[in-house]
Amino acid sequence: MPFIVAGIEMGGTGCKVAISDDNGQYDSSYSLQVVTIDPTNTLRQIYEWLETKRTERPFVAIGIACFGPVDLDKTSKTYGYITTTPKPGWQYVDVVGAFKGLNVPVAFETDVNAPAMTEAALRGDSSAAYITVGTGVGVGLVLENIPVHGLMHPEGAHIKCERIAGDDYPGDCPYHGSCIEGMCKAKAVADRLQIVPSLLSTVPDDDPVWNIQAYYIAQLCACVIYLTSVKRIIIGGGLMKRNGLLEHVRKHVLKIINDYLDIPAITQHIDDYIVASKLGDIIGIQSGFDLAQRVVGNK
Ligand SMILES: [Zn+2]
């Protein structure tokens, strides 16, 4: 049986904290959204909410899915920290340590590895990638049921990419310009249309910009396929709600691979290979719950 657990989704612009129901599932009546301001106040708001609500719903563990880069090495002095983020004020912030006072185990993962684990488990996949496309772009990887950490954790969105014909957008990554994230995050799409990102929802589904964006997401998918041989790619994030975008991505992936891989899962069933997130907007918090279940040995 699942336990009652708490989940925290730490995002660069907003955070969410929630306590699960008795079955370990999301219940909107036990959740709180917090604007990501400075670390002290943001983490304190989350802590105080958990401390207050635990009398009604006594959670046994906390799972945190966090924006990065983060330190996932349990032998490191900075384990559980956000490390070198460009987000002002958030460098070397001890996120796990902020919740020690609640005296329950705390699990910590990236905000893309944790969803990869949850989405893979929902589909029974041992190996899967989770790509998010929104304010930023990220890739989480689970290979043979283990989230990939290695030296740090994968940062696949910063792979350099090939430009689609006719696209002269310079890219918006402060480190690399035209890496995948720099070419297809929300600001990159909005810049091409000379609008602010908050107006992207007003852009019609048939605007050519979505095909351009899909081309860059597809290059990331192809890299993931070649390098990791995952059994499924799940794509989520705010920008992926757009009708037709996944179809564009699948079409470009098949063109990029160009029959090099004769794998029916890709060549014949790509609709079931590159798929939308099953959980949509709640994937972050549910993946936090699932991390917490694992840390207490229930999953
Ligand atoms: Zn980059």
Please give the domain boundaries of the chain with CATH numbers for all domains.
Answer: 6-111+281-295 (3.30.420.40), 115-278 (3.30.420.40)
* Cα–Cα distance, 26 to 18 (Å, whole number): 7
Q: What is the dihedral of CA 80, 83, 86, 91, to 10 degrees?
A: 90
pLDDT at position 81 is 98
CA of residue 193 to ligand 1 center, whole Å: 21
pLDDT at position 85 is 86
pLDDT at position 60 is 97
Closest CA to 214 of 176, 177, 188: 188
Closest CA to 157 of 134, 177, 139: 139
CA of residue 86 to ligand 1 center, whole Å: 12
Query: Cβ distance 171 to 158 under 8 Å?
Result: no
pLDDT at position 28 is 94
* Cα–Cα distance, 256 to 221 (Å, whole number): 10
Closest CA to 236 of 284, 178, 186: 284
Q: What is the pLDDT along the chain (299 residues), one digit of tens a residue?
A: 789 999 999 998 899 999 999 999 999 999 999 999 999 999 999 999 999 999 999 999 999 999 989 999 999 999 999 999 888 899 999 999 999 999 999 999 999 999 999 999 999 999 999 999 999 999 999 999 999 999 999 999 999 999 999 999 999 999 999 999 999 999 999 999 999 999 999 999 999 999 999 999 999 999 999 999 999 999 999 888 888 999 999 999 999 999 999 999 999 999 999 999 999 999 999 999 999 999 998 76
* Cα–Cα distance, 29 to 131 (Å, whole number): 28
pLDDT at position 298 is 75
CA of residue 274 to ligand 1 center, whole Å: 23
CA of residue 69 to ligand 1 center, whole Å: 13
CA of residue 220 to ligand 1 center, whole Å: 13
CA of residue 181 to ligand 1 center, whole Å: 6
CA of residue 157 to ligand 1 center, whole Å: 7
Report the SS3 class of residue 163: coil
CA of residue 91 to ligand 1 center, whole Å: 18
CA of residue 205 to ligand 1 center, whole Å: 27
CA of residue 172 to ligand 1 center, whole Å: 8
Retrieve residue 280's tokens.
Answer: 């949509």
CA of residue 140 to ligand 1 center, whole Å: 16
* Cα–Cα distance, 200 to 222 (Å, whole number): 26
pLDDT at position 87 is 86
* Cα–Cα distance, 279 to 286 (Å, whole number): 8
Stated as kind and residue range, the H or E segment containing 133 is: strand 128-133
